[in-house]
């Protein structure tokens, strides 16, 4: 059986990127990290990763030409791309009415269209080997829509629907698709949320208008009260997923030590049962199984 050892991960400069890369390297994987501005605002992070033996490629997931070139460079360096981790993401926080269509486009361009760009660019390499693994770093917010997240939660719902489509359509090629759903974690992601462009729209919301900022400020206390909610949990869950036999990995993996994970897990179980019945009705149940 062909080993899956060469990994390309987007969003290497922030969020879960660093801890995932570290965990993969310790397990012997060859990792290429993709990020924007590797010679600019992310230069220090890029240099640190390079000093650890990680190859860095410049990829802006919102630009077709950047994705094409970066993926080509990653494949040339590693010889193949066995595993794609779509980790790049853009969050948002505020009153929904204040987010303009352009705000929505910014979030979806990273969280949904970026996933599509990366997946399309990588699939030819996986199809050539008839083996591969697509991993989407999603969110528990893709299963339970949380208020005051603007376009973020809808974008994650859309990204998971996209991953589900690929799951069925590429399984016969020996390519597996998995989704990891983290809860809230203390990473730099929280400090870089997109704010609504049209702040005036929320002025007549009264006390509700203050809730997004209040909730965001309270997260520090929440994380301090839950020290076990470490970003490393996501990396550990991913590594454990990789250790499972090809074609036998769960579609969704919840990662959370607070409370949302326990609420979402039964939903995911019921969804998978519903999927089985739907695919069977359409005579597509065989596509739920990855060709080995």
Tokens 């997923």 -> residue: 241
The closest alpha carbon to 31, from 3, 56, 13, belongs to 56
Q: Judge residue 142's burial from the number of C-beta atoms within 10 Å of its C-beta, 0-12 exposed, 13-18 middle, 19 or more buried.
A: buried
Q: Judge residue 56's burial from the number of C-beta atoms within 10 Å of its C-beta, 0-12 exposed, 13-18 middle, 19 or more buried.
A: buried
Task: Mark 78-106 as b/e (b = at least 16 C-beta within 10 Å).
Answer: bebbbbbbbbbbbbbbbbbebbeeebbeb
In this structure, what token pair is assigned to residue 97? 């009415």
Pairing of strands 55-58, 30-35: parallel
Are 243 and 237 within 8 A, CB to CB? no
Are 89 and 62 within 8 A, CB to CB? no
Q: Other CB atoms closer than 10 Å to residue 222's CB: what's the count?
A: 13
- Kindly name the residue from 152, 166, 205, 279 that is annotated as catalytic: 152
For the question of residue 152 being annotated catalytic, the response is yes
Q: Which residues are catalytic?
A: 152
């Amino acid at each position: 059986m062909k080993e899956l050892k060469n990994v390309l991960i987007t969003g290497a400069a922030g969020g879960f990127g660093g801890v995932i890369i570290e965990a993969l390297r310790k397990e012997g994987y060859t990792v290429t990290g993709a990020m924007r501005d590797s010679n600019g605002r992310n230069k220090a992070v890029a240099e640190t990763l390079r000093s650890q033996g990680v190859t860095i490629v410049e990829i802006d997931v919102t630009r077709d030409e950047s994705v094409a070139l970066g993926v080509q460079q990653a494949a040339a360096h590693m010889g193949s791309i066995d595993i794609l981790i779509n980790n790049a993401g853009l969050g948002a926080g505020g009153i929904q009415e204040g987010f303009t269509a352009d705000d929505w486009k910014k979030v979806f361009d990273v969280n949904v269209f970026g996933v599509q760009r990366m997946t399309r660019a990588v699939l030819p390499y996986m199809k050539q080997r008839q083996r591969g693994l697509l991993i989407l770093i999603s969110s528990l917010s893709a299963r339970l829509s949380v208020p005051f997240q603007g376009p973020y939660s809808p974008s994650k719902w859309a990204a998971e629907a996209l991953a589900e489509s690929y799951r069925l359509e590429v399984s016969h090629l020996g390519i597996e698709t998995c989704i990891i759903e983290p809860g809230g974690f203390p990473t730099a992601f929280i400090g870089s949320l997109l704010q609504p462009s049209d702040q005036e729209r929320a002025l007549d919301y009264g006390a509700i208008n203050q809730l997004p900022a209040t909730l965001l400020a309270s997260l520090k206390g929440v994380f301090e009260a839950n020290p076990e909610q470490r970003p490393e949990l996501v990396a550990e869950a991913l590594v454990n997923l990789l250790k499972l036999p090809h074609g036998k990995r769960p579609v969704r993996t919840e990662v959370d030590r607070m409370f949302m994970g326990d609420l979402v897990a039964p939903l995911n179980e019921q969804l998978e049962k519903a999927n089985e019945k739907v695919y069977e009705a359409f005579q597509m149940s065989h596509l739920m199984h990855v060709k080995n």
